[in-house]
Amino acid sequence: MFQRRKKEQISNSSSSGTLAVVASSTNSPMRNATPSFKSFLLTLSLILNLYLLWAPLSPTLPQSTLISRLSPTARRHLLFSVASSSLSWPRRLPYLRLWHSPATTRLLAFLDKPPPSTNSSHSPEVVISADTDAFPYSFRGGLRSAIRVARVVKEAVDRNETDVRWFVFGDDDTVFFVDNVVRTLAKYDHRRWLYVGSNSESYDQNVKYSFEMAFGGGGFAISSSLARVLARVLDSCLRRYGHLYGSDSRIYSCVAELGVGLTHEPGFHQLDMRGNLFGMLTAHPLSPLLSLHHLDAAEPLFPDMNRVQALEHLIAAANIDPARILQQTVCYDRSNSLTFSVSWGFAVQVYQGNELLPDLLSLQKTFVPWRRGSKANANFMFNTRDYPRDPCKRPPVFFLKNVTSDKRGIWSNYSRHVVGNCFESYVTQLKRIIVFSRKLELNNEQMNAPRRQCCNVLPSSNDTTSLHIRPCEIGELISMQS
């Protein structure tokens, strides 16, 4: 009886997928309703069902909306952890002191055993790593310390430091540009599972290890939500991946098992190359400079300075305008037929004639591959162009001398670097270049879709040229002929 009455009260849905309301008894309100009221109810039912059909079951807010509900990510929200050893600590400590500010930067240094006393308030806090002898390591010719270094991720998270949104990892010879790291990570929501970094500049290194692995020397960041889960499962991964070579391979493998891929940020630089980094620094990607690694294998970045002095010089400029450091801007002097390639805070090159912008974006091969020997392949992950062996066939270079700023803007001064007895008739008198700009401050939208800036050549004297870097107009082209 109940089933029969139920069938009488419910009709089948129509072929369009909407529900029909059917009166099945004399007591139904619909039987007594006026035609207009019936139409209203039918329309309301149709609208409701269309909404249920097309509305998402679990709507998600855009990432920008999620981030806007949070307080801005700041330095205090990042915990840096670097892997070191008692042997390398004394010679790598000067690198760490360049970018570590005890008052504003949270930094832990993980060592195998206590280092010699440094007696300096500028040194980071030292943490002695736990014993890892129980974990397997079978890579022939490798170093077991890779397990200890990988486990830094777990040990950093297990400290339960307060108010950490991002865990950032690197080596003791990794120099971070902290303001840029903060600003870059602020684009993302730390409540999501994110593994942020970059692969190697060397094609062969990526083939050997992985194109989707964040190379540890360049540094990488893990959101706090992912880091907590990763810390719980890391030891099981270390037991499964004893056959791998490095620590970053172990972290990548465990993150991959959690189903998370790499979020690429090209400003992290592994620098799997040796020698003169001039070509890389003068054509930096259109993204913030986040880190530099393997600096012991590179020549000093500036002439007539040692490695630490040169880095200190670069970081001083970065502290004034972090987002602009190494950003390449090309200026055209149409009246004198000159092309200026500016790597802000580092160097300016002056070319005679019209050098097309795409040609200047490729890297000059001033460096050599990481692997030594005649059989080493010089395959890189970017376009390269030859760098003349003869210094007199190279464009004149003006290296950064100093940077000053006030409320009106920023002036960076570059002085000519003389090599040999070269004579360039087109810039014989030129000794100094002054670049005026305003601090580069980008919002999330601009960070996600960056645009290179334009510049003008200002009225100049015989020995000094002035350039003005500014945002490009909407239809403006960076070219000699507009």
Query: Which residue ranges in the chain fall short of pLDDT 70?
Result: 1-69, 118-121, 373-376, 482
Identify the pLDDT of residue 11: 41
pLDDT tens readout for residues 261-314 = 999 999 999 999 999 999 999 999 999 999 999 999 999 999 999 999 999 999
Cα separation, 13 vs 52, whole angstroms? 15
Is this structure's pTM higher than 0.75? yes
Q: What tens digit of pLDDT does each residue of 422-458 get?
A: 877 788 889 999 999 999 999 999 999 999 999 999 9
CA distance 418 to 278: 16
Which pLDDT does position 469 carry in this prediction? 98
> What is the predicted pLDDT for the residue at 13?
41
CATH number of 320-470: 2.70.130.10
Instruction: Check residue 65 and give its pLDDT.
Output: 46
What is the DSSP-derived secondary structure letter of residue 13? P
pLDDT for 74: 95
Q: Where are the domains of the chain?
A: 2-54, 73-270, 320-470
pLDDT number for residue 69:
67
In angstroms, the CA 49 to CA 160 distance is: 48
For 64-105, the pLDDT digits (tens) are: 445 556 789 999 999 999 999 999 999 999 999 999 999 999
Cα–Cα separations (whole angstroms), residue 110 to 34, 262, 295, 343: 80, 24, 20, 35
Query: Cα angle vertex 45, ends 40, 51, to 5°?
Result: 125
pLDDT at 112: 95
> What HEC string does 58-113 produce?
CCCCCHHHHHHCCCCCCHHHEEEEEECCCCCHHHHHHHHHHHCCCCCCEEEEEECC
Q: Is 141 left (phi over 0), alpha (psi -120 to 50) or beta?
A: left
Q: What is the pLDDT of residue 1?
A: 44
* CATH code that applies to domain 73-270: 3.90.550.50
- The crossing angle, in degrees rounded to 10, of helices 307-320 and 89-99 is 20
